[in-house]
Amino acid sequence: MQRTLGTCYYPEHWREEIWEDDAKRMAQTGLSWVRIGEFAWSRIETTPGQLQWEWLDRAIQTLVSADLKVVLGTPTATPPRWMVDRHPDMFALDQNGQIRGFGSRRHYCFSHEGYRAECRRIVQLLAERYGPGDQIAAWQTDNEYGCHDTTVSYSTAARHAFVNWLRDRYGDDISALNKAWGNVFWSMEYDRFEQIDLPNLTVTEANPAHTQAFRRFSSDQVISFNKEQVDILRAHSDAPIAHNYMGRVTDFDHHKIGADLDIASWDSYPLGFLEDRVGATPDDQRRYARQGDPDFQAFHHDLYRAVGRGRWWVMEQQPGPVNWAPYNPAPLPGMVRFWTWEAFAHGAETVCYFRWRQAPFAQEQLHAGLLRPDSADAPALEEARQVAEELTEAPSAAVAQAPVALIFDYDAEWAWQVQPHGAGLSYFDLVMDHYRALRRLGLTIDIVPPTQTDFTGYALILAPGLIHMADELRQALEGAEGQVLLGPRSGARDADFNIPTTTLPPAIDGLDVRVIAVESLRPDMPVALAQVPENSTGPSTSAPPGTVGKYMEMLEGTAAPVLQTADGRPVAVSNGSTTYCAGWLDATGLERLLTHLCATAALPVQRMPDGVRTRKTATEEFWFNHLAKPTDSPVGVLPPAAVVRRPIDND
């Protein structure tokens, strides 16, 4: 697989006279790809039915003539003003019933049939014009589904579509739905599907089964919206199709959408994410202000490698300060290069910088580009050029299967949001805590979907927080060769959000443990772990033993304790190669448990110095220093923003 670079370009923002020079400079910088068009609907179709293709033809021709490969975006994230005159009810409504109106972007409801027809029409026109021939090397559908909180809509269109979705799911049998949801509780039973409202504007919380069904429906609407575009593009073009996903946007099932696409890509803004998306502590926000969190980008690289079933890109890479975070510092010199190599270390094919030139107008005036608004080089341009040069020495890579698999399930994320049981308890955070602990142990990780049924070759498989587990996954985990870590909350609900009563969770064959009660804990009441478990087969340490916080379950059964609280309650228990963890462990506790499981699996670990991370491809080993100061590491002193790439001796 070739490693390449690119950028995001908006020819409609610039005088046509400078396009050629821009294209030449992109090529001279060593960029191969240029993404265009994803917001250009108002220039392609100036009034309904009036198509202005000529400028786009010339722009594409100019870029292709400079030997650049074009990614053409479908413009459906930015319906023009005339569109909302034609479809005044096309907007999404927020939870309070407020319209999310015109004047920025993503002002549409995924369920609005009229807008969907307009999208099919414009995509059909684009596909017919640019599909044949070889000018378009790849497509992007829409832009960042879900961005600005736009997956879930409480519109009338959404309600109609939801009712039909429920009718399908429950075989048009309203009593089946009433039973599945437990609607006898609080006299919530329905006579007809048409009576079912969306789960907002209720007096107190809606039935969690109702809300979870609505979250699943909302995700399915994104998937079918995307699929309509994909089907049209494929009918006219052989070029691969991508979508650009985001960091910590989890409102739709990316694994499902990824199955309809050829390439997963995501938009990586390491400094922009730090406060709101990572949720870093104030100390870490300061420590990593110019470098970004050491694990957040890596996590998404691994996640989108799974979503893309191996093929993935960074479609937008932060090149300097952004405009949209609470604070927007400039990256440390070298970080743009660093982030690019980090993506390649995780198997990215292509990294594109957002954007080519800083725009002097509109919402993103303060967002850096590779060029300044006056067209002079911005600092990131030199770093991109440097990576392009370095790629001549390391032009391609092969990704190897990692020794560790970590399951990420969007359905579980919604279920935890619907019923967190304690303030701020989040599945995403729980999975991130496991991911961080693995990285601190120097491990290379594959994130896998909950539909994975083959775990051959994984020494360690982690499935934290999978609140509903499909039978296929359960069986696959029961039969896996490696060490399996489940819990907390694994298998805690059936498909309709009820607690299983025939066999209490987690109901794993061969693991004699049942969750008999649960509690969530205030942040100021963590429960201390014991230094060594009573039967002393588990991990022992002379360091502080760690705590369980946030959430804890009471267990019953004969599985052997591996971790216990200081007052003797089992926290992690094992039978054979399966371990269940009944609480949310802090970093120390989690590291103890994972170190123990790795030792049992004969998987070597190497504790990383603070801020240092490592990853292996099939042939290379990478080392990264995420700190703003030099640090010691197993491969020598690493200066700030250091990237070390070494061949692996596979013999």
Query: What phi and psi values does residue 635 have, to the nearest 5 degrees?
Result: -110, 25
Segment interacting with ligand GAL (CB under 6 A) among 96-104, 139-147, 472-480, 493-501: 139-147
CB of 86 to ligand GAL, least distance (A): 25
Q: What residues between 306 and 365 interact with ligand GAL by CB under 6 A?
A: 316, 322, 354, 364
Is residue 506 reached through a cis peptide bond, with omega within 30 degrees of 0 on the bond before it?
A: yes
Give the contact letters, 264-293, x = binds to ligand GAL (CB under 6 A), - = no: ---x-x------------------------
In whole angstroms, the minimum distance from the beta carbon of 311 to ligand GAL comes to 20
The least CB distance from residue 238 to ligand GAL, in Å, is 26
The answer to whether the peptide bond before residue 234 is cis (omega within 30 degrees of 0) is: no
SS3 22: helix
Sheet containing strand 612-616, strands side by side: 612-616, 620-625, 643-647
Q: How far is the CB of 353 from ligand GAL (least distance, A)?
A: 11
Applying the rule CB under 6 A, the residues between 146 and 205 that interact with ligand GAL are: 147
- Asked if residue 385 lies in contact with residue 29, where contact means CB atoms within 8 angstroms, the answer is yes
* Min dist. Cβ of residue 314 to ligand GAL (A): 12
Tokens of 356: 């080519």
Distance CA 423, CA 640 (A): 37
**Residues designated as active site:** 144, 316
For ligand GAL, which is the closer residue by CB, 318 or 633?
318
Cβ atoms within 10 Å of 203's Cβ, excluding its own: 5
Q: Among 333, 266, 258, which residue's Cα sits nearest to residue 301?
A: 266
- Residue with Cβ nearer ligand GAL (5 or 627): 5
Nearer to ligand GAL, 252 or 622 (CB): 252
Q: Choose, by CB under 6 A, the member of 118, 144, 295, 496 that binds ligand GAL.
A: 144
Find the shortest distance in angstroms from Cβ 481 to ligand GAL: 41
Complex with ligand GAL: residue 363 or 535, whichever CB lies closer: 363
Beta bridge partners of 631: 638
By beta-carbon proximity to ligand GAL, the closer residue of 74 and 155 is 74
| Residues whose CB falls within 8 Å of the CB of residue 619, separated by 6 or more in sequence, listed in order | 397, 398, 647, 648, 650
| C-alpha torsion angle, residues 511, 514, 519, 523 (rounded to 10) | -10
The length of the chain in residues reads 651
Looking at 27-35, 140-148, 232-240, 549-557, which segment touches ligand GAL (CB under 6 A)? 140-148
> Which is closer to ligand GAL, CB of 118 or CB of 144?
144
- Shortest Å, Cβ 39 to ligand GAL: 7
Residue 414: closest CA among 205, 216, 141, 629: 216
Residue 269: which region, alpha, beta or left (left: phi > 0; alpha: psi -120 to 50)? Answer: beta
Q: Which residues pair with 616 in a beta bridge?
A: 621
Span near ligand GAL by CB under 6 A; candidates 143-151, 255-263, 325-333, 616-624: 143-151
Which of residues 277, 367, 569, 613 is near ligand GAL by CB under 6 A? 367
Q: Is the CB of 144 or the CB of 390 nearer to ligand GAL?
A: 144
CB-CB contact of 35 with 77 (8 Å): no
Quickly tell me which residue has 């609470």 as its tokens.
Answer: 326
Nearer to ligand GAL, 267 or 342 (CB): 267
Number of residues interacting with ligand GAL: please give it, by CB under 6 A.
10
The minimum distance between CB 289 and ligand GAL, in angstroms, equals: 17
- Tell me how many degrees the CA angle 205-209-211 measures, rounded to the nearest 5: 55
Contact indicator for 486, 474 with CB cutoff of 8 Å? no
- 183 phi and psi angles, rounded to 5 deg: -75, -5
Q: What value does the CA radius of gyration of the chain take, rounded to a whole number of Å? A: 25
Element (H, E) at 432: helix 427-440
Residues in contact with ligand GAL by CB under 6 A are 143-144, 147, 267, 269, 316, 322, 354, 364, 367
